[in-house]
Amino acid sequence: MTQTTKLNGDFLFVADPLDTFKISKDSTYVMMLALQARGARVHHCHPKDIEWESGQGVRARVTPITLRPRPSADAPKDTPWYDAGPVAVLALKDFTAVLMRKDPPFDAEYIYSTHLLSQAERDGARVFNRAEALREHPEKLALLAFPQFAPPTLVTRDAAAIKAFHAKHKDVILKPLDGMGGMGIFRVGADGMNLGSIIETLNQDGAQTVMVQAYQPAIKDGDKRILLIGGEPVPFCLARIPQGTEIRGNLAAGGRGEARPLTESDWAIARSFAPLLAARGLLLVGLDVIGDKVTEVNVTSPTCFQEITDQMGFNVAERFADALADALKR
């Protein structure tokens, strides 16, 4: 397959509102650009726009958009980047492909959206990533199926269990299951400072499940995002390096992104995950790797396309377009 493979037809992106896109770094934006360059007609909707009515199938209020040429680096931030057509109510089965790119939180409303998308698949829609696969691989908990690659990890609602895990491992990271971009992540060292307060904040008196992991000192060298597309690893990752006194490498938390070739260890991890996850219906996956440990398996809206492309000259969006074209032939 070449990068000139055509993608004629109508492609629907289910994503956050267009006015929230930060196009200087947004991966969904460059996906749209890559598809449009190959002949695709791009449409957008939000999950709340999807509905089902008996006898009608799954439909959505969608907006056709035409992307303008990518603004220059010195263009004003409010430079228009697309032109919108009239909103229409269309059946999801009538699109060439539906791409689910809604950012977390992975909450009840997200789950409801995947059920509607599953019904759309039964109607005949082609959904990427597949709706059932999204439900079965929540951002944090997908790691449970791969314990051999994970750092010591605890998932619990029990405050006493969290304290016992800390006593055993001394230096731990606590995080909510529905966060993104480093939101709500805490580190507690051997002195246990503020552990009780942090548990109360995250655990909500047993109402919320918490993930706790042994702290990985290799974070100083970066939290690596490894992309798997169509069952194959992208040969470069983005190491997100914490800055100053921050423990989080997430770009949204101020981390510095440094693209790098995959190491031998990275390749081994990626090749273990890639074919298995692709067979489950996951066209695009983002692994978070610290040292040689996988800390998260991201399937909702993996990012870092632009950073890798800009720094390494490897066009990740084109690789994705190739994989999508190949998947649509099956």
**Active-site residue, from 26, 288, 318, 322:** 288
Does the annotation mark 288 as catalytic?
Answer: yes
**Active-site residue, from 298, 307, 319, 322:** 298
Does the annotation mark 51 as catalytic?
Answer: no
d(CA 325, CA 330): 9
Does the annotation mark 296 as catalytic?
Answer: yes
Computed on alpha carbons and rounded to an integer, the radius of gyration of the chain in Å comes to 20
**Distances 121 to 56, 77, 129 between C-alpha atoms, Å:** 14, 38, 11
**Active-site residue, from 26, 266, 296, 322:** 296
**Active-site residue, from 225, 250, 266, 319:** 225
SS3 content of the chain, % helix, strand, coil (to 5): 35, 30, 35
Does the annotation mark 298 as catalytic?
Answer: yes
Q: CB 302: neighbour CB atoms within 10 A?
A: 24
Tokens of 234: 């992208």
Backbone CA torsion sign across 326, 328, 329, 330: positive
Sheet holding 172-176, edge to edge: 153-156, 210-214, 172-176, 186-188
Does the annotation mark 61 as catalytic?
Answer: no
Does the annotation mark 260 as catalytic?
Answer: no
**Active-site residue, from 102, 140, 224, 293:** 140
**Active-site residue, from 38, 101, 240, 319:** 240
Tokens of 326: 């190949």
Does the annotation mark 101 as catalytic?
Answer: no
**Active-site residue, from 59, 175, 224, 319:** 175
**Active-site residue, from 59, 248, 293, 319:** 248
CA 257 to chain CA centroid, Å, is 16
Does the annotation mark 240 as catalytic?
Answer: yes
Sheet holding 293-298, edge to edge: 256-261, 232-241, 223-229, 284-290, 293-298
Active site residue ranges: 140, 175, 225, 240, 248, 288, 296, 298
